[in-house]
Structure 1
Amino acid sequence: MSRRRPMLLRLGLGLVAAALLAGCVGLPDDGPVVNADVAGERDADRASSIDARPPQPGDSRLEIVNGFLEAMMAWPISTSVAKEYLTDDAAEEWAPESTIIYNDLAAPREDGGTVRIRLRDAALLDESGGWESTLPPDRSELEFQLTIEDGEFRIIDPTDALVVRSSWFQQRYRQASLYFFDPTAQVLVPEPVFVPVGRTFATSLVSALLAGPPRRLRDIVTTYVPPRLTVGLSVPVLDGVASLDLGGDAPQIRSDQASRMLAQLAATLRQEPSITALRLSIGGEEVELPGHAALYDVGSADAFDPSDTASTGVLYGLRRGRLVVGDLGDLRPVDGPFGWESRDLATVAVAPKGDLVAGVTTDLQQVVIGPLRAVRGDPGAEVTTLAIGEEFTRPTWDASGRLWLLERGPDGARVMVVHGTKVREIEVEGVTGQDARRILVSRDGTRLVALVTGPHGDRMVAARIALAINGRVGQVVESTVIWSLHGQRAIDIAWTGVAEVAVLTPARPGELFGVETVSADGATVGVDTLATMVTGRVTGLASEPYADTPVYAVARDWLIDIRTGERLATMAPVRELDYAG
């Protein structure tokens, strides 16, 4: 632990960066990783190498500080030259473990032996490499104290972070996910992180996963990867097989623990397209794979994937008061109580498992629930009233069968969660008591996103859901605004990925509409987003968090695939057309 005086800019520890910079050396640029023609390496090829410039004799204080900032952007990543700008003691202690991204630097200010530089449009990655927040002005100033050592100016107290320009970062980092489990141990939860591209992509992912969940998420997710394991120099990949020989003690692992650990590793590693299977050893001892198999297929992680359900890719909608199901060319009434007869429903939501339906009546004051499919005459086929209130918006389900409700009233919004038939109110900062108009809950049940109207326009609030081991919702925490629209109201929001939300906004009401995607963690740099325009009277979005499912802008009797621009007609007018969830 460093004993230097507290810095003006306080930072968390970044374990992704720690893994990359351990030992104060650069990333390995050779080794046993093969398969050169993979996505990560192609990205790396587009990022030119940067040789850091060491300090020059006679450099001034400002030249030393500027040189230090530039040296941190060596590529491939290396801090060896940057350390030359520090005193010997500071260089020995300095191990940048987090990352600050900035757009530009203000003019430096020199005051005696201190140099201060304000970062413009700065953001901080947390200890896992995940996006934490943009930095307000009072946390965006770097302060450096300098002294003379061996006749040259050197920095005494470097900030414990890799400080880089956003243009450099976007060329060299990619957003991926680390996969942990929810507290019930039944559902994999993706946590977006930023990882350097190139041949070390898989190694960086595994290193970050071994570090475990960041502190802020330890009430949200859990891990089955034993502590204090290391990945070594690299993850060799040969003929699609990643060989993980992890360093550390080989603990006694029960079969259920091993299956979940393997699922975490597989779900995380299959983001490298070249990896199709893995083998695992800990401390030189092979971990026994399910069924005594020689390899673990990365597709086996699907058993815990909440996005991959029986209803994936299936469209539902309301036609003349009946719930219809199918594809665009063949939407038919469901064989259940919501399809047998016309009902006065304003909106419906089908559970991802395809077993239950929740609907809101046309007066918006009642929420009803019943089975999607049933046998006529079966008492279990009845539709029952679940809740009565002021004004309910469209319900939302997670893959574990929890139903979430948003009620609007004169005192603002109330958020409720339903376990079975028990309705319970949950406090959500930034949503409860506000003019909230729509909520979404992620399939894994750990993220909540709300569309909220304020005096200056709409905003999207994202928060995390803490669950107990029995699946009961404890509390909703970490509320933050991830998107805002000045002076206008959005029309709809929808999941388009496991941690990505699309928002529909009017450009020219009734004629032209915009669709853009937003990262659910609020990241604005280094993420792939979609922005497009569609024409016509669009009323909503139809989407689900599955990469192969089209995302539609929905009108009364046609759809537009927002990724391809293709316009598709429905067989007859349908309202509330959407996927499950």
Structure 2
Amino acid sequence: MKRPAALTGVLALVLALSACARMPTDGPVTEVQTSTVSAPRAPFDFDPKPPQPGESASEIVAHFLEAMKARPITTSVARQFLSEEAQRDWRPDDAIVTYGEIGDPVGGDITVQVPMATINEYDDRGAWQRSRDAVSLQLGLTSEDGQWRISEVPDALVVPESWFEDSYRRASLYLFDPTTSILVPEPVYIPEGDQVASSLVPGLLPSEGTDPRIERTYFPEGFTSAFSVPITSAGIAKVALDGDPAAVDETTSQLMLTQLIWTLRQEPRIRAVELTIGDRELGLPGGATQVDLDVGSAYDPTGAQSTGDVFGLVDGRLVRGTVASLLATTGPMGVERLGVRSIGVNLEGTRVAGISGDGSSVIVAPVDDDGPAEQVVSGASDLLAPAWDFADRMWLVDRAGGRARVLVVNGAQARAVQVPGVSGRDVEQLLVSRDGSRLVAVVSGKDGDRVVAGRVLHDERGRVLGATRARTLAYEPDASGQVRDITWRTPTAVSVLSDINEDLSQVRTVSVDGAPGEIVTSGSGRVRGAFRSLVGSPVEGAEVYAVAGEDVIDLTAPSRQLGALPSGLTSLTYVG
């Protein structure tokens, strides 16, 4: 069983220090090209020195922290700075703590404190947990054979943020939603290099930090993974688990393989996966034990049946197609002007929801088929554009004069969902992930706009139970404090559009888990023009557009000439 992801051991020894100086967060802004993708920095090998005879307590602590920066990543030298008992008990794989700045060790010989600023904490899977401004790392020491050694140490790897950025990469663990209908990606950070597959597999094992109302894994309780996942020259990843093979029936084995395939396909060297439990090889029906990477496509978190078309309104009528070729639809909203001001389309592209011109009601109609346009919500105050998830649920926000209500519509039934940090606030925009597990919103306040995200809670039948408290994402608006628009870029990241001045806009991409730092993708950075909306999709390779009236650019290919949008085009959007 994996240890809880609450960082208990770390937090017991890491104490807040009000005297620590906060690191500066302001600096000059440099313009970047709109199609830039940052290349990973190649870390240099570092072989730290072990303890030297006669080192003081403070020197032992300083050199212990230095030893944790070893490359390739290893804690074998760092462990030599510990007492014999601490060496046996220390579990640095339980958590990661990163710091932006570190002070000199202070204190006596028995207890030494190290002031640190700009702290981020990650659990044993590499999932970000929280940030702190300033802490003090407290370590206990003892004397062994006349030499100082550390006897009390947190169960964590404690390293500089810059080292972490160079040594770890962003990835996802793929779990199932509570209904086992779709995969839910969870962002984590894993070591670069040959350890990618070996670092990902343990994260699929059951963890006490997993909320069954959000996601579930089909890897049974009590199973453990081998220390490494070898990859053959043919690209076959060989995953070995210790556990009772009889505990895994055929259905469970197929779901385990689906999770493995989606998780390990992030390693470019892997072409197929073999899974062994004890002495039993698991495979596909029919006996094949080498499982290709296309298995499990029906559980795609972006929607297996989703269309790549964009949709919009031209003079109040629904159109669909590509940005360069938008064609009239044949359903009620394409044939008639029904007086809607914004739209949202379900993932299959078969049903469209339109918000009435006064924002008080919602009309749902077929996109291209004959059939009636039906009003499903009425009596609202000021509805934002709808969002849809994989279960064909529609999500709405009634702004209600700065006291927003979040609504979920299933069929013809609408009910309010309490989302702490969103409900009752001044909400300007709402996104829902296609897998139905996340809500992202722009919340306006006296200090400017914030981008927040929460998790949607479901039962095993798919009924929405509520949501977790929304946490503020790692995004700070520019001088205006205003967010113009947000859109999905991946299933776990959103792009945010804001103004720099009248001639420049800014596009930044951030993780929905709240982890620090900007995700640099094609289309991130400054964009020349006063753009007002983004049109994006979580599907890999989908174009992302910035729109201002009839002007449009493709952020993923800025040199591409698109021409002007049709006159009277509004509410341009992908499905979802």
Contact 1:175 1:527 (C-alpha < 8 Å) held by counterparts: no
- State the match for 1:533 in structure 2: 526
Assess if the C-alpha contact under 8 Å between 1:396 and 1:404 holds in 2.
Answer: yes
1:123 pairs with one of 105, 113, 120: 120
Spell out the pairing of 1:37-436 with structure 2 (5 A cutoff).
Answer: 46-96=42-92, 97-111=94-108, 113-137=110-134, 140-209=135-204, 211-213=205-207, 215-238=209-232, 239-375=234-370, 380-410=371-401, 412-436=403-427
Provide the rounded CA distance (Å) in 2 between the counterparts of 1:130 and 1:502: 20
Q: Is the Cα contact below 8 Å between 1:440 and 1:448 reproduced in 2?
A: yes
1:483-508 residue CA offsets vs partner (Å, 9 max, x unmatched): 23265211110000010000110111
2 CA distance for matches of 1:571 and 1:457?
31
Picking from 12, 30, 36, the partner of 1:7 is 12
For residues 555 and 480 of structure 1, the distance between their equivalents in structure 2, rounded to whole angstroms, comes to 30
Q: How far apart in 1 are the matches of 2:357 and 2:385?
A: 11
Alpha-carbon distance, 1:214 to partner: 5.3
Which runs of no fewer than 5 residues in structure 2 stay unpaired? Answer: 17-38
Counterpart Cα distance in 2 of 1:215 and 1:289: 30
Question: 3-state DSSP class of the match of 2:307?
Answer: coil
Distance 2:284 2:532 in 1: 49
Mapped contact 1:175–1:526 kept (Cα < 8 A): no
Which whole-Å CA distance do the structure 2 matches of 1:446 and 1:505 have between them?
Answer: 26
Q: Over aligned residue pairs, what C-alpha RMSD do you find?
A: 2.4
SS in 1 for 2:363: strand
Measure how far apart 1:256 and its partner are: 2.5
- Indicate how the Cα distance of structure 1 residues 10 and 478 shifts in structure 2: closer, same or farther if over 3 A, else same: farther
Task: Give yes or no for the alignment of 1:465 onto 2:460.
Answer: no
Deviates more, 1:110-119 or 1:452-461: 110-119
- Large movers: runs of 4+ above 4 Å: 1-6, 525-530
User: 2:499 matched to 1:503?
Assistant: no
Change (3 A) 1:545 1:214: farther
- Counterpart of 2:508 (choices 509, 516, 519) is 516
Q: Displacement, 1:534?
A: 2.0
TM-superposed deviation, 1:70: 0.8
**SS state at 1:68 partner:** helix
| Structure 2 Cα separation of the partners of residues 7 and 95 of structure 1 | 15
* Cα distance in 2 for residues equivalent to 1:4 and 1:382: 58
Question: Once the 2 structures are TM-superposed, how far is the Cα of residue 43 of structure 1 from its aligned partner?
Answer: 6.3
Indicate how the Cα distance of structure 1 residues 462 and 119 shifts in structure 2: closer, same or farther if over 3 A, else same.
Answer: same
- In structure 1, distance between residues paired with 2:50 and 2:434: 50
Matched with 2:486 is 493
Counterpart-to-counterpart distance in 2, 1:174 and 1:263: 22
SS of match in other structure, 2:470: strand
Gaps of at least 5 residues in structure 1 are: 12-41
Structure 1 equivalent of residue 544 of structure 2: 551
CA distance in 1: counterparts of 2:109 and 2:454, whole angstroms: 44
Write the distance in 1 (CA, Å) between the matches of 2:258 and 2:79: 39
Q: Are 1:440 and 2:431 matched, yes or no?
A: yes
Q: Deviations over 1:107-138 (max 9, x none)?
A: 3321462211121111000232101111243x
Deviation of 1:89 (Å): 1.4
Report deviation, 1:309.
Answer: 4.0
CA distance in 2, matches of 1:523, 1:200: 22
Distance 1:525 1:50 in 2: 25
Task: State how far apart, in whole Å, the 2-side matches of 1:61 and 1:219 are.
Answer: 48
Distance verdict in 2 for CA 1:86–1:497, change over 3 Å: same
Q: 1:323 to 1:526 in 2, by over 3 A?
A: closer
Structure 1 residue 61: deviation in Å? Answer: 1.4
Q: Secondary structure at the match of 1:78?
A: coil
**TM-score for both structures, normalised by structure 1:** 0.88
Q: Judging changes above 3 Å, is the alpha-carbon distance between structure 1 residues 307 and 4 closer, same or farther for their aligned structure 2 residues?
A: closer
Code of the aligned partner of 1:261 = M
Q: How far 1:549 sits from its partner (Å)? A: 0.2
| Shift of residue 62, structure 1, vs aligned partner | 1.1
For the Cα contact (< 8 Å) 1:369–1:386, is it kept in 2?
A: no
Code of the aligned partner of 2:74? S
**Counterparts of 1:427 and 1:528, CA distance in 2:** 33
CA spacing shift, 1:429–1:484, aligned 2, 3 Å? farther
TM-score (norm 2): 0.89
Deviation per CA, 1:418-450, whole angstroms, max 9, x where unpaired? 121111111111111111111111111111111
Q: Shift of residue 374 of structure 1?
A: 1.5
Amino acid at match of 2:171: A
Per-residue deviation, residues 544-567 of structure 1 (Å, max 9, x unmatched): 101110111012223211123234
Amino-acid identity (%): 38
The 3 A distance-change label for structure 1 pair 197 and 330 is same
| Equivalent pair of 2:536/2:542 in contact (CA under 8 Å) | yes
Give per-residue Cα distances to partners, 1:525-554, cap 9 Å, x unaligned. 595456322233422111010111011101
What secondary structure does 2:224 align onto? coil
Aligned partners of 1:213, 1:160: CA distance in 2, in Å?
17
| 3-state SS of 2:86 partner | helix
Distance across 2 between alignment mates of 1:89 and 1:373: 71
Q: Corresponding residue for 1:23?
A: none
Q: Distance in 1 between matches of 2:411 and 2:57?
A: 66
What is the Cα deviation at residue 213 of structure 1?
A: 4.5
> Residue 374 of structure 1 contacts residue 381 of structure 1 at CA under 8 Å; is this kept in 2?
no
How far has the Cα of 1:314 moved from its partner? 0.8
Q: 1:252 Cα shift?
A: 4.1
Tell me: CA distance 1:526–1:324, structure 2 relative to 1, closer, same or farther (3 Å).
closer
Q: Which amino acid in the other structure matches residue 80 of structure 2?
A: E
* The 10-residue stretch of structure 1 (91-100 or 494-503) with the greater mean CA deviation from structure 2: 91-100
Quote the offset at 1:102 in angstroms. 0.9
Single out whichever of 259-268 and 141-150 deviates more from structure 2: 141-150
- Provide the rounded CA distance (Å) in 2 between the counterparts of 1:82 and 1:219: 39
Residues 4 and 157 in structure 1, CA contact (< 8 A), matched pair in contact too? no
The Cα offsets for residues 431-474 of structure 1, whole Å up to 9 and x where unpaired, read as 11111111111111111111001111110111111111111111
